C-alpha cells in the first residue's frame, strides 16, 4: 500500500510540532519567574541528559520506522541495504510487520534497563556534582522522578516508531498536542504552588506517559481493523533474524545520533563544566528557542518521510523530488520568520518576566543560522536513510568528535563567552556535512538546491492562489 501524506497529516504535523515547541515557550515565563538561575541551569542539564539517554535507542527508532514503512508498502522481506522486492499490488505484509514489532518490543526492554542503570549511577554522581549549590531536598526528588520518566519513555518508545512507519502522522501529532498540554498545566501549577524542580520533572513524566499511552491506543485501533492477519505467531528465529538485519543500519543510525548529540545538545553539558549554572541556563534557553524554530520549520520534512520511503520503494522519482522541494522551501521560509519572531517578540516578553535575564540577539541569530544548516544536512541524511542506506556514518562521527574538541579548546581560553558553543561545531560542520549529503540527494534526483527551492516556492504559490480562488468562489 502506497503511503501518502494527507492534508490532515501535514496540518497536524505543524500543530504538533508548533505546540510541542510553543508549550515550552509558554512555560518559560513560569520557569524564569519561579526558579532561581541555578535551578534553571539544572533543569536544562536534565533535558541535556534526556537527549543523552535517547542515544540508548542507538538508531533503532528510525530503522524500525523505515522498515515498517517498507512492510506496509508491500515489501516481501527486509534487507540490510536498500529494499527488497515488493508485491505488485503493494499489499501490506502483515506478517513481516508482526515480526518487526515483536523484535522492537524485545529490544527496547533491554535498552531501557541499560539506560536506567546508567543514569541511576553515573548520572546521579554528575547531577550531584554540578548541582551542589541547589538544596538536596529539592534536587534529588526531581532527579528520581526524571529518571523514572526516562526509563518509561525509552521502554515504550517503539509505539511512536510504529505509527510513523505506518504513515499515521496525524495520530502522532494529536498525541503530542494532548501530552504537551498536560505537561504545561502540571508544570505551571506545580511551579505556582512552590514545588520548583519537582514540578517541571512531574510535568516531563506526565508528558512522556500520556504520549505513549495515546500512541498505543492509536496503534491498537489500527490493529483491530486487521484482526485475522495479526494472529499469526512469530518465532524466536524470526526475531533474531530480523534483529540481525536491522542492526546493520541501526548501529550506523545510532552513531549518527551520537554525532548529532555532540554538535547540538551536548553543548549544555559542556557549558555546565566551563560556565556557571546561571550562564548555562541563559545559553540553554537560547538553544531551546533556536531548536524550536528549527523543528517547526522542518515539520513538513518529517511529515513526508513515509511518503518519500514509499515513493522510493515504488521507484517514483517525481514524488521524491516533490517531497524534497516542498520540505526544503518551507524550512528556509519558516526559519527566517521564526528567527525574527523570537528576536522581536519572544525576547522582549522574557525580559518582562525576568528583567535580569541577558539574551543576545546577535548570538541567537548566529545559533539560528547554525541550526538551519544543521537541519539542512539532517534532511539530506534522512532522505538518504529513507533508501535504507547510511553512508555518512564516518563523516558524522569524525565531525562530532572534532566539534567537541574545538569547542572545548575555545572555551578554555575564556575569552569568547558562550560563542565557542556554536563557533566550534559550526566551523567543523560547514567544512563538509552541511553541504555534502544534500548534494548527494540532489545528484540522485537530478536537481539542485536552487532548483529545488524555486520549485518548492513556486508550488506553494500555486497552492495558495488555488486556495484563495476557492475561498472567493465560496463567498
Q: In whole angstroms, give the CA distance from residue 280 to residue 275.
A: 6
For residue 335, how many other CB atoms are within 10 A of its CB? 22
User: What are the CA-CA distances from residue 337 to residues 172, 294, 356, 362, 370 (Å)?
Assistant: 26, 11, 27, 16, 16
Contact 173, 13 (CB under 8 A): yes
At residue 467, the pLDDT reads 64
Q: In whole angstroms, give the CA distance from residue 248 to residue 388.
A: 10
The model's pLDDT over 26-37, given as tens digits with 9 standing for 90+, comes to 788 888 889 888
The model's pLDDT over 38-73, given as tens digits with 9 standing for 90+, comes to 888 888 889 888 877 877 776 677 777 778 877 877
Region class of 87: left (phi > 0), else alpha (psi between -120 and 50), else beta: beta
Q: For 275, phi and psi rounded to 5 degrees?
A: -120, 170
**Taking the alpha carbons of 272, 277, 279, 280 in that order, is the dihedral positive or negative?**
positive
pTM above 0.85, yes or no: no
**Taking the alpha carbons of 124, 125, 129, 130 in that order, is the dihedral positive or negative?**
negative
Residue ranges for the chain with pLDDT beneath 70 = 1-25, 58-59, 80-90, 222-231, 467-475
Residue owning grid cell 516508531: 161
**Taking the alpha carbons of 106, 107, 110, 116 in that order, is the dihedral positive or negative?**
negative
Contact 354, 33 (CB under 8 A): yes
Partners of residue 56 on adjacent β-strands: none
The full length of the chain comes to: 475
User: What are the CA-CA distances from residue 50 to residues 115, 116, 214, 271, 457 (Å)?
Assistant: 10, 11, 21, 16, 36
Helices 393-413 and 266-274, interaxial angle, to 10°? Answer: 20
Q: In whole angstroms, give the CA distance from residue 312 to residue 111.
A: 31
Contact 245, 78 (CB under 8 A): yes
The dihedral over CA atoms of 5, 300, 305, 393, expressed in degrees to the nearest 10, equals 180
At residue 38, the pLDDT reads 86
Distance from first CA to last CA of the chain, Å, rounded? 38
- For the chain, how many helices (H) and strands (E)? 21, 0
**Residue 134 carries which DSSP code?**
S
Q: In whole angstroms, give the CA distance from residue 464 to residue 367.
A: 31
What is the SS3 assignment for 316? coil
Partners of residue 75 on adjacent β-strands: 86
Q: In whole angstroms, give the CA distance from residue 340 to residue 361.
A: 10
**Residue 54 carries which DSSP code?**
G
The model's pLDDT over 134-188, given as tens digits with 9 standing for 90+, comes to 888 889 999 999 999 998 888 887 787 788 777 777 788 788 888 888 999 999 9
**Of 390, 367, 366, 365, nearest in space to 378 by CA:** 390
At residue 286, the pLDDT reads 85
Partners of residue 86 on adjacent β-strands: 75
Q: In whole angstroms, give the CA distance from residue 342 to residue 361.
A: 9
Sequence-separated (6 or more) residues with CB below 8 Å from residue 361: 343, 347
For residue 161, how many other CB atoms are within 10 A of its CB? 25
Q: In whole angstroms, give the CA distance from residue 329 to residue 334.
A: 9
The dihedral over CA atoms of 10, 11, 12, 18, expressed in degrees to the nearest 10, equals 110
Cell of 130: 554540578
In the 3-class helix/strand/coil scheme, how is 199-245 assigned residue by residue?
HHHHHHHHHHHHHHHHHHHHHHHHHHCCCHHHHCCCCHHHHHHHHHH
Contact 72, 1 (CB under 8 A): yes
What is the SS3 assignment for 419? coil
Amino acid at each position: 500500500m502506497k503511503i501518502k501524506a494527507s492534508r490532515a497529516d501535514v496540518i497536524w504535523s505543524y500543530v504538533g510540532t508548533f505546540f510541542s515547541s510553543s508549550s515550552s515557550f509558554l512555560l518559560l515565563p513560569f520557569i524564569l519567574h519561579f526558579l532561581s538561575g541555578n535551578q534553571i541551569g539544572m533543569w536544562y542539564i536534565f533535558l541535556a541528559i534526556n537527549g543523552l539517554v535517547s542515544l540508548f535507542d542507538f538508531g533503532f527508532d528510525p530503522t524500525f520506522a523505515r522498515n515498517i514503512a517498507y512492510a506496509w508498502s508491500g515489501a516481501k522481506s527486509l534487507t540490510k541495504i536498500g529494499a527488497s522486492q515488493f508485491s505488485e499490488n503493494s499489499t501490506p505484509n502483515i506478517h513481516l510487520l508482526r515480526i518487526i514489532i515483536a523484535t522492537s518490543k524485545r529490544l527496547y526492554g533491554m535498552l531501557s534497563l541499560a539506560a536506567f542503570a546508567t543514569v541511576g549511577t553515573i548520572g546521579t554522581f554528575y547531577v550531584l556534582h554540578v548541582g551542589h549549590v541547589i538544596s538536596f531536598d529539592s534536587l534529588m526528588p526531581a532527579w528520581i522522578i526524571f529518571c523514572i520518566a526516562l526509563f518509561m519513555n525509552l521502554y515504550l518508545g517503539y509505539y511512536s516508531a510504529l505509527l510513523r512507519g505506518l504513515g499515521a502522522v496525524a495520530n502522532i501529532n494529536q498525541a503530542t498536542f494532548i501530552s504537551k498540554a498536560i505537561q504545561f498545566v502540571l508544570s505551571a501549577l506545580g511551579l505556582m504552588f512552590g514545588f520548583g524542580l519537582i514540578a517541571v520533572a512531574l510535568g516531563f513524566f506526565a508528558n512522556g506517559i500520556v504520549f505513549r499511552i495515546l500512541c498505543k491506543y492509536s496503534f491498537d485501533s489500527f490493529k483491530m481493523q486487521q484482526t485475522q492477519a495479526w494472529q499469526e505467531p512469530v518465532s524466536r528465529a524470526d526475531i533474531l533474524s530480523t534483529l540481525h538485519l536491522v542492526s546493520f543500519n541501526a548501529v550506523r543510525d545510532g552513531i549518527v545520533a551520537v554525532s548529532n548529540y555532540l554538535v547540538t545538545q551536548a553543548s549544555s553539558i559542556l557549558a555546565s563544566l566551563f560556565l556557571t549554572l546561571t550562564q548555562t541556563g541563559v545559553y540553554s534557553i537560547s538553544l531551546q528557542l533556536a531548536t524550536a524554530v528549527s523543528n517547526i520549520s522542518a515539520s513538513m520534512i518529517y511529515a513526508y518521510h513515509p511518503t518519500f520511503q514509499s515513493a522510493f520503494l515504488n521507484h517514483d522519482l517525481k514524488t521524491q523530488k516533490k517531497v524534497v522541494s516542498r520540505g526544503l522551501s518551507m524550512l528556509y521560509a519558516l526559519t527566517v520568520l521564526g528567527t525574527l519572531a523570537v528576536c522581536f517578540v519572544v525576547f522582549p516578553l522574557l525580559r518582562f518576566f525576568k528583567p535580569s535575564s541577558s539574551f543576545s540577539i546577535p548570538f541567537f541569530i548566529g545559533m539560528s543560522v547554525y541550526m538551519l544548516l544543521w537541519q539542512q544536512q539532517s534532511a539530506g541524511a534522512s532522505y538518504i536513510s529513507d533508501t535504507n542506506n547510511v553512508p555518512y556514518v564516518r563523516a558524522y562521527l569524525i565531525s562530532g568528535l572534532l566539534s567537541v574538541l574545538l569547542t572545548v579548546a575555545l572555551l578554555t581560553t575564556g575569552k569568547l563567552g558562550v560563542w565557542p558553543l556554536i563557533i566550534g561545531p559550526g566551523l567543523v560542520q560547514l567544512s563538509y556535512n552541511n553541504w555534502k549529503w544534500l548534494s548527494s540527494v540532489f545528484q540522485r534526483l537530478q536537481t539542485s538546491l536552487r532548483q529545488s527551492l524555486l520549485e518548492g516556492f513556486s508550488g506553494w504559490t500555486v497552492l495558495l492562489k488555488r486556495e484563495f480562488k476557492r475561498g472567493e468562489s465560496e463567498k
